[in-house]
Chains A and B, each alone.
Chain A
Amino acid sequence: MDAVMTPQDLDSDHWLDRTTSLHRQLTSRAPADAVELFTRAACTLRVTIERTTTRVQTRLGNDGGLAVRTCRPNGGWGFAASGGSDAASATWALETAFASEAPSGSSEWRTTPGILIDRDADLTLLPAEHWVAWLSEANRRLVGASPIKIDAYRSWVESALVVETWVGANGAATSRARVRTWAMSLVATEGESHRHLSPLRAAARRPSDLDPAAWSAALADRWLDSPLATADQGRHRGPVVFGPEASSALIAALVDTLAHDPAFVGAPCGPGFRVDDRPGDPHALLGGGFDDAGFPTQDRSVADGRSIRHVLVGPGHYRRGAFRDPPVGRHAALHVRPPAVGFPDPAFVATGLILHATPGSDWILELEGARFAGGARTPPLRGLTAVEPAVLLKRIVGGVGPPRESDSGVRTPALLVSSLDLALRSGP
């Protein structure tokens, strides 16, 4: 497989020099320790196959930008981001950050000297032809693996080479370079009751990890005829098994809720809520040796099955959603390792989760799945319930089956929640 490009302009050392030079220029206009600079450059390839036209569309491009944080001795700080990576862009961001500086607040970045480097060994992007073949094969397997009539309506793969560089004061800097690939298929199914549209997603650290066979295996774990239901099917009061995909969304939401609030430390949790953040895991989709404010990362136990041990705030936990966003405390690579438990009978098995969260209120969970009892399963059902996050936390009692990594970087098996009271709905 030939690489489509290994652009010289995305050489990490070049970007480290360039960002350092830009930072030097900025600090001629402001105190050196009052300015932090983050740059990002990316080369992206996206291949899309539309089912209706069977047309292959390829988009290839380069983009990048920078972000400046400023800090004044009185504690006020500012943030601004700009596309481009030249001196004019950096100056604009500096001036805008100073102009928008908030009168209060806090922010921090590393000031200890040293350059931290985190670069993938292989930084090549595979060519469009590879991904066209991959998508065709994945869709063929997807259709073959499904017990019901299914069409992949729109499928895409996006692969990006990203170089991120951070420079603080006193020679503190970091350099990160990696290739990541995401895939999605929007799947239309004709199931037992009606047609339904649902997305399937995957992500990988290396292109070779994105396996069409695994893609279709993920499908086999799901029942895609999951209705947005209308007819009342009574209640399920009892154990609920969240499949790996639903568990991944649930765990990420719970940890995000806890992440910013030290008041949660010591809060009780169920024995199945054993969660670590392992940014240092060499196989993790996200993470790495340092965070997005230049601090070295370390693995942390978020919860040990008895209580919340750490919240993910402060140095080592700063993450930027994009270069346009200021860094905030967030998880990098969550691993859930609950004690293994048996599959309960009866149980509601949730393969999909939609979470309606209003701050300060109960969460409303919409669970897609089916009820299992005595070896038989019902047709697809939707279970609805309202629950306080703190209560939910205590009811996670164990794990069922092997772990799987989601496209958001959460690695978890199916999780057993001891009891929920679900209002069940089905299609007409």
Chain B
Amino acid sequence: MNWEIQGERSDWIAAFERAGRASPRGRRLFAEWREDLRVVFDVPPGEFRVTGSRHSGLAVDEPDGVRPSYFLGSPSIEDVDRLGGQGDLDAISKPLNSPRRGRERPTGDPQRARSWLERLALAAVRQAPSVRLRASWVGFSQEVAVCRADRKVVQDRRTGSRARLELWRSVSGRDVVSVEEVILGAEELDADPAKIASRAIERNFERAATQPLPSGETVAVFAPGVGGALVHELVGHALEGDRWIAGLSWLSRSRGQAIAGEWVNVIDDPRRGRAAWREDDEGEPARATGLVRGGRVEGLILDGATAAHLDQRSTGHGRRSTFRDAIHPRMGGTFLSPGEWSPEEMLEGIEEGVYIRRLESASVDTISGRAVFHVIDADRIVAEHVTYPCPPFLICLDARSTLASLDRVANDLTFDVSASSCVRDGQPLAVSVGAPTFRVGLVRVVVPHSH
């Protein structure tokens, strides 16, 4: 990976700053350089697919909405100079495809990714020769610059890599599935991928003998990190400024009100997690924002437009998926703060319940606060003990009753045990979620009848 600003890039940034300073008041310039790498290894047949890509682009935002906004792919220094010198947006309403900077490699080294995935797959196959698997690596690197007439250029860089191992093993004519994911920092890259393979294989063998779970209301304990998705969906989306202002959130009239026990604190901090940002796409510094404090609704996720509407400061959450897209207030790293209980204390007093290890897809209605999650890995809790695994099922949640019955939060905060993108208004964004082990007294389990 080579993301150093080179001489040419510095020239580009200087032109960008000149253009920003020459812009009419209110206009904002945004530039983006991005590289992506995706490597997938399927066994069988032992086949790699490697996809590297890069793009760059410029957006001219007119936040007042009176003038149209523009975007342009692969702009050159000349494009930016022309834009700044004339203040003439017609100049970029033509496709311009000019040479750009040096020859960067896509984020992450494809050879290194392939070698790492090969070791991962080999370790899995050694332990379970009949297993089928898909090992994948996704990495990105994005550099942005933002400029306005009254400010210097603000730059930010976001990077992230993650790997996922999916295993299928045929047992008595049906597939047993297990999944492991890992965020790839330097430590994980140096670590032996065999450990990840072992965890996936071990869980796969445990899941070979599932026993059915009855539908109905029950207590749920979410394994460390797993419930972060719940907090993201139920609380985070409901406190995105635009939804909240429009009354499209079940929390729209709840600011300051108690919605959970005093041990419930939810924070969004874009500066931490797997794809952190320090400056948002409007050039505002990202801030940790308390969404729920002591069980009461406290803050909102704001970009420039929603902050202006509320006469507040932006919290630095204005993000866009690419230079082509509009900016919305988006979550960065949403997490439930650790509590004072130990993980073992989560099981106390539970006669019947479920211990949830992995959530995959979800459907959420922010107005009603209702959500359905697909649980693909869970164990049944019987008499305060985690017992046998269950087949996949759904949990139907009502945000109010879920949060009201969230009665214990452990001290083992964990981030990103499953690392998927958040898609809003068609814009995917890499985000982080985190949570300690926690317990919810009321979830509705729905076990669909299998055909």
Q: Are A85 and B72 in contact (CB under 8 A)?
A: no
Selected contact of A63 from candidates B39, B57, B68, CB within 8 Å = B57
Task: Write out, one digit per residue, whether chain B residues 45-67 have a CB within 8 A of any chain A CB (1) or not (0).
Answer: 11111111111110100000100
Q: How many of chain B's residues touch chain A, expressed as a range?
A: 35 or more
Q: Are B370 and A360 in contact (CB under 8 A)?
A: no
**B324 interface residue (CB < 8 Å to A):** yes
**A48 interface residue (CB < 8 Å to B):** yes
The number of residues on chain A lying at the interface, defined by a beta carbon within 8 Å of a beta carbon of chain B, is: 88
Q: Are A195 and B73 in contact (CB under 8 A)?
A: no
Q: Are A228 and B371 in contact (CB under 8 A)?
A: yes
Measured between beta carbons, the chain A residues less than 8 angstroms from B52 are: 79-81, 96-97, 100
Selected contact of A366 from candidates B175, B363, B392, CB within 8 Å = B363
Q: Are B70 and A82 in contact (CB under 8 A)?
A: no
- What separation, in Å, do the CA atoms of A229 and B97 have in the docked complex? 51
Q: Given contacts A61-B324, A80-B106, A83-B56, are A7 and B94 in contact (CB under 8 A)?
A: yes
- What separation, in Å, do the CA atoms of A128 and B100 have in the docked complex? 31
Q: Are B360 and A59 in contact (CB under 8 A)?
A: no
Task: Write out, one digit per residue, whether chain A residues 133-175 have a CB within 8 A of any chain B CB (1) or not (0).
Answer: 0000000000000000000011000000000000000000000
Measured between beta carbons, the chain B residues less than 8 angstroms from A63 are: 57, 71-74, 95, 324
**A386 interface residue (CB < 8 Å to B):** yes
Q: Given contacts A65-B55, A79-B51, A83-B54, are A358 and B376 in contact (CB under 8 A)?
A: yes
Measured between beta carbons, the chain B residues less than 8 angstroms from A196 are: 365, 367-368
- What separation, in Å, do the CA atoms of A366 and B371 have in the docked complex? 12
Q: Are B449 and A423 in contact (CB under 8 A)?
A: yes
Q: Are B47 and A57 in contact (CB under 8 A)?
A: no
Q: Given contacts A101-B50, A230-B444, A358-B376, are A195 and B70 in contact (CB under 8 A)?
A: no
- What separation, in Å, do the CA atoms of A53 and B242 have in the docked complex? 10
Q: Are A89 and B74 in contact (CB under 8 A)?
A: yes
A window 16-57: CB within 8 A of B? 41, 43-44, 48, 51-53, 55-57
Measured between beta carbons, the chain A residues less than 8 angstroms from B168 are: 359-360
**B105 interface residue (CB < 8 Å to A):** yes
Q: Given contacts A10-B95, A227-B368, A354-B363, are A153 and B246 in contact (CB under 8 A)?
A: yes
Q: Are B95 and A64 in contact (CB under 8 A)?
A: yes
**B160 interface residue (CB < 8 Å to A):** no
B window 284-305: CB within 8 A of A? none
- What separation, in Å, do the CA atoms of A101 and B364 have in the docked complex? 40
Q: Are A229 and B396 in contact (CB under 8 A)?
A: yes
Q: Are B103 and A95 in contact (CB under 8 A)?
A: yes
- What separation, in Å, do the CA atoms of A421 and B374 have in the docked complex? 18
**B10 interface residue (CB < 8 Å to A):** no
- What separation, in Å, do the CA atoms of A34 and B8 have in the docked complex? 32
Q: Are A61 and B70 in contact (CB under 8 A)?
A: yes
Measured between beta carbons, the chain A residues less than 8 angstroms from B72 are: 61-63
Selected contact of B51 from candidates A229, A326, A364, A387, CB within 8 Å = A326
- Tell me, rounded to whole Å, the shortest Cβ–Cβ distance linking B416 to chain A: 20
Measured between beta carbons, the chain A residues less than 8 angstroms from B324 are: 44, 59, 61, 63
**A257 interface residue (CB < 8 Å to B):** no
Selected contact of B94 from candidates A9, A53, A58, A326, CB within 8 Å = A9
Task: Write out, one digit per residue, whether chain B residues 81-104 have a CB within 8 A of any chain A CB (1) or not (0).
Answer: 000000000001111111110010
Which chain A residue lies CB-closest to B32? Answer: A83
Measured between beta carbons, the chain A residues less than 8 angstroms from B51 are: 79-81, 100, 324-326
A window 321-353: CB within 8 A of B? 324-326
- Tell me, rounded to whole Å, the shortest Cβ–Cβ distance linking A64 to chain B: 6
**B6 interface residue (CB < 8 Å to A):** no
Q: Are B71 and A61 in contact (CB under 8 A)?
A: yes
Task: Write out, one digit per residue, whether chain B residues 169-191 have a CB within 8 A of any chain A CB (1) or not (0).
Answer: 00000010100000000000000
- What separation, in Å, do the CA atoms of A91 and B73 have in the docked complex? 18
- Tell me, rounded to whole Å, the shortest Cβ–Cβ distance linking B1 to chain A: 12
Q: Are A105 and B49 in contact (CB under 8 A)?
A: yes
**B366 interface residue (CB < 8 Å to A):** yes
**A420 interface residue (CB < 8 Å to B):** yes
Which chain B residue lies CB-closest to A67? Answer: B53
**A130 interface residue (CB < 8 Å to B):** no
**B36 interface residue (CB < 8 Å to A):** yes
Measured between beta carbons, the chain A residues less than 8 angstroms from B155 are: none
Q: Are A52 and B246 in contact (CB under 8 A)?
A: yes
- What separation, in Å, do the CA atoms of A9 and B324 have in the docked complex? 19
**B110 interface residue (CB < 8 Å to A):** yes
- What separation, in Å, do the CA atoms of A361 and B168 have in the docked complex? 10
**B5 interface residue (CB < 8 Å to A):** no
Measured between beta carbons, the chain B residues less than 8 angstroms from A103 are: 48
- Tell me, rounded to whole Å, the shortest Cβ–Cβ distance linking A282 to chain B: 28
- What separation, in Å, do the CA atoms of A384 and B446 have in the docked complex? 8
B window 306-328: CB within 8 A of A? 309, 324, 326
Measured between beta carbons, the chain B residues less than 8 angstroms from A385 are: 448-449, 451
Q: Are A421 and B449 in contact (CB under 8 A)?
A: yes
Task: Write out, one digit per residue, whether chain B residues 346-372 have a CB within 8 A of any chain A CB (1) or not (0).
Answer: 000000000000001101111110111
Name the residue among B53, B56, B100, B392 with the largest chain A CB count within 10 angstroms.
B53
Measured between beta carbons, the chain A residues less than 8 angstroms from B248 are: 153, 188, 197
Measured between beta carbons, the chain B residues less than 8 angstroms from A56 are: 65
**B69 interface residue (CB < 8 Å to A):** yes
Selected contact of B365 from candidates A228, A388, A425, CB within 8 Å = A228
Measured between beta carbons, the chain B residues less than 8 angstroms from A392 are: 451
- What separation, in Å, do the CA atoms of A229 and B99 have in the docked complex? 54
Which chain B residue lies CB-closest to A88? Answer: B99
Which chain B residue lies CB-closest to A107? Answer: B49
Task: Write out, one digit per residue, whether chain A residues 391-428 have a CB within 8 A of any chain B CB (1) or not (0).
Answer: 11000000000000000000000000000110101011
- Tell me, rounded to whole Å, the shortest Cβ–Cβ distance linking A186 to chain B: 8
Name the residue among B49, B52, B364 with the largest chain A CB count within 10 angstroms.
B52
**B425 interface residue (CB < 8 Å to A):** yes
Q: What are the 10 closest A-B residue pairs judged by CB atoms, nearest first?
A: A83-B55, A61-B71, A228-B370, A63-B73, A84-B74, A102-B48, A360-B175, A386-B448, A100-B110, A58-B68
Q: List 23 A-B contacts (CB under 8 A).
A: A9-B94, A52-B242, A57-B65, A58-B69, A59-B70, A61-B92, A62-B96, A65-B55, A86-B74, A99-B105, A100-B39, A154-B425, A186-B425, A197-B365, A228-B368, A230-B398, A235-B449, A356-B360, A384-B446, A385-B448, A420-B451, A423-B215, A425-B396
